[in-house]
Every structure is written in structure tokens, then in C-alpha cells.
Amino acid sequence: MKLFEEMEKRGHEELIFNNFKDVGLKMIVSLHDSTLGKTIGGLRMNNRYQTDIDAVIESLRLSEVMTYQAAAADVDSGGANALLLGDPKTEKNEAYFRAVGRFVESLKGKLIIAPDLGTDTQDFKYIQRETGHTIFGLDVEDKERPAARITAHGLYWGIKACAKKYFDTSDLAGRSFAVQGLGDVGKNIVDYLKKEKTTLYVSDLIYDNIKEVEDKYPDVKVLKPGEILYQETDFLVPCAVDSIIDEDNIDRLKCKIIAGSAYNIFTREELVDTVSQKGILYAPAFIIAAGELFLLDRNLKLRSTEKCLEETEIIYHILLDILYQAADQGITPFQLAKDKAKERYTKIGLINNILC
């Protein structure tokens, strides 16, 4: 793969590598598009990549989708991603994350990071000792990390929009759901879905996450991680890692709708068309999981959770409009959502040429 050609194809501005061997830090930063404003992205940490190029591709894909999400959510920011190549179970320490903070600070505000898969509250406490270029829930009025709750709230309303389009009712009673991943968002969406008379299948790689859900809802059916994707259900709700659907397993899907918070669940974007041809409705993750961005005001400062919950329900209307318009135009909701996002930041880019 030729990196510069890949960046040009996706529209990326910068790709940055940092290797600080004294603390074992290997960090990839991709900045996609700053037309709308400063670039915001999640800080991920994992070591599951077969090659460094695989890690670079994931970072590029994640930062690109963050640009689309910000444009769709009417937020004045661009997309970015910061990826740490390391084992979140064994390689975390104060020096490591303070080094991350120093590197983010050296970018002088180009990059603003928020917690993502593999990073948590303690990590960001260390990072914030070195930089203020973070978005983190410790600063909001309710003194909690609200992102997962807000994301799940928007996801719930997005699921109801999908139900309205597919079943002609937003009522979820009697519907079945396969929730893959019981992290912060996954557990929250289980809570929302259990408020209605639904059938739930769940799966996670971490036993404690499963036990917590089982103890709370004994009627939930636990499946092995290798089974959850292929359970016959109305909804598949991916809330875990990316790249879970490929050419080898796509024909095994038995759901009617895919609506989850995990980005880039397809190994190739063209597979979105394939699931559509199979009659499966796919809700673009950068729309349905945009709730976290509703925590930000126009100055990219955090607001309190309660002020955002009601606003996040607009995802129902945004997604429903996209679903109906896409059907009318004969294209996938994913393609229409991308086109709308690109249109917004392209037009704003023209306005930015006006001197003031």
C-alpha cells in the first residue's frame, strides 16, 4: 500500500507517527479534515493488528468517519484518531500516558482526544497533567463520564427509527436483538432495550461484563462470541470492535437490521452494498452513534449529561430522514449520509475563503 495515495483517496491532511521507546510508546495519529474546525478523535489502545499497516488503515478509517459524524451532527469540528499500539491489560502506566499527553500537547491544538476502546478514566487523568487538548467527562456538572450513556441514548432512538422504517412502527415490543459487546455502551443499550418487551441475546469476551448483565436481567440469553453475529434476530447491535463482517461471513448473517455503535464493522466499504442487496437495513454508525458529539457546545466544551439527553433524541429524526430519502433515491443510507456530510464541509470550506 502507498500511504500518500491512501491518504489522498480518503482526503486526509496529516498522518503522524510517534515512537518513544523509553516508555514503549508507539502512537499513530491521523488527522482527516479540519475544514469545519479542530479535529477530534478517540484515543484507542490495542495490539490486535497483524501488521503496522493494518493499524494505519484502521486509524485512517476511524478519523475519516469522525469527520462525517461531526458534519452530520452539526458540530464544528473535523475528524481525527489516535491509536496506541500496545496491550491495554499489561502496558499501562503513568509515564506512558503522560508521554501521550506531551505528544498531544506538541501538536498545539490540532488534535483533541477523547477516551475510546482500551483507554479509561485513569489514563486520561495522567494525560491531562500534560495537555488540556482533551474532551473528558470529569469537567461536566454531574462529575461523571457521560459519553457512553449519551451514545447509548442516541443509539436507542436510532434503533427506533430503523424499526419505524422497516416495520412501520417505532415500538420495539416483541423484537429480538443480538448485542455484541457489553462495554459501557453495550450495557447501557441493554438497559434501554429491556425497558421494552424485547428478546435479548448478548455476547462479550469479558466474563465480568456478561455476569453483570446476567445478574441484572436473568432472562437475557448469552451466546458465544463466535455465534452472536449469526443469531436469527430482528436487530444485530454491534458495540465492540471494528471489521467483524467480511466476504467469508457476510452470507451467514440472519438479522433484518444492523444498528450499532461500532464504526467500520465491514472490512471493505463495498460490503455495505452487499448487505443491502441481501435485504438487510444498515444504519450508518457515524449517524446512529453520534450522541457523544451532542455533549459539546459550539466552543467544543462539555455540557452536562442531562442537558444533552433530550437533544440526542434528534438522531431519530436525522436517521429516519436519511432512511426514507435513501430508499427514494435507490441508494444505501450509508452512501446518502456520507454524501450529505461531504456536502456540508465542502460548502463551509468555500465560506472559509472569505477574509474577515
Could you report the per-residue pLDDT of 332-343, keeping only the tens digit for each?
999 999 999 999
- Domains defined for the chain, CATH in brackets: 3-63+77-135 (3.40.50.10860), 147-343 (3.40.50.720)
* Range of lowest pLDDT (101-105, 239-243, 262-266): 239-243
Task: Grade residue 316 by pLDDT with cuts at 50, 70 and 90.
Answer: very high
**In the predicted structure, residue 139 carries a pLDDT above the cut 50:** no
pLDDT tens-digit readout, 259-311: 999 999 999 999 999 999 999 999 999 999 998 787 776 666 667 777 788 88
**Per the structure block, which three cell numbers stand in for 79?**
475528524
What is the model's pLDDT at position 138? 42
**In the predicted structure, residue 236 carries a pLDDT above the cut 50:** yes
**In the predicted structure, residue 54 carries a pLDDT above the cut 60:** yes
Task: Single out the residue of 117, 190, 208, 209 nearest to residue 152, CA to CA.
Answer: 190
**In the predicted structure, residue 1 carries a pLDDT above the cut 80:** no
What is the model's pLDDT at position 229? 97
Mean pLDDT estimate for the chain: 92
Rounded-to-integer distance, Cα 177 and Cα 202, Å: 8
**In the predicted structure, residue 198 carries a pLDDT above the cut 60:** yes
**Cβ partners under 8 Å of residue 169, min gap 6:** 163
**In the predicted structure, residue 140 carries a pLDDT above the cut 50:** no
How many CB atoms are located within 10 Å of the residue 146 CB?
23
Q: What mean pLDDT do residues 108-118 have?
A: 92
Q: Which residue has 436507542 as its cell numbers?
A: 156
**In the predicted structure, residue 159 carries a pLDDT above the cut 70:** yes
What is the model's pLDDT at position 48? 87
What is the model's pLDDT at position 302? 67
**Cβ contacts of 115-119, under 8 Å, gap ≥ 24:** 115/42, 115/43, 115/145, 115/147, 116/41, 116/42, 116/43, 116/44, 117/42, 117/44, 117/45, 117/46, 117/183, 117/241, 118/44, 118/45, 118/46, 118/84, 118/88, 119/43, 119/44, 119/45, 119/84, 119/88
Percentage of the chain beyond pLDDT 90 is 79
What is the model's pLDDT at position 124? 94
Q: Are strands 39-46 and 78-85 parallel, antiparallel or unpaired?
A: parallel
Residues making up the chain, counted from first to last: 356
Q: What mean pLDDT do residues 108-129 have?
A: 92
Q: What mean pLDDT do residues 208-215 have?
A: 97
* Range of lowest pLDDT (47-51, 180-184, 304-308): 304-308
Q: Which residue has the higher pLDDT, 156 or 118?
A: 156
Rounded-to-integer distance, Cα 313 and Cα 291, Å: 9
Q: What mean pLDDT do residues 74-100 have?
A: 95
What is the model's pLDDT at position 307? 78
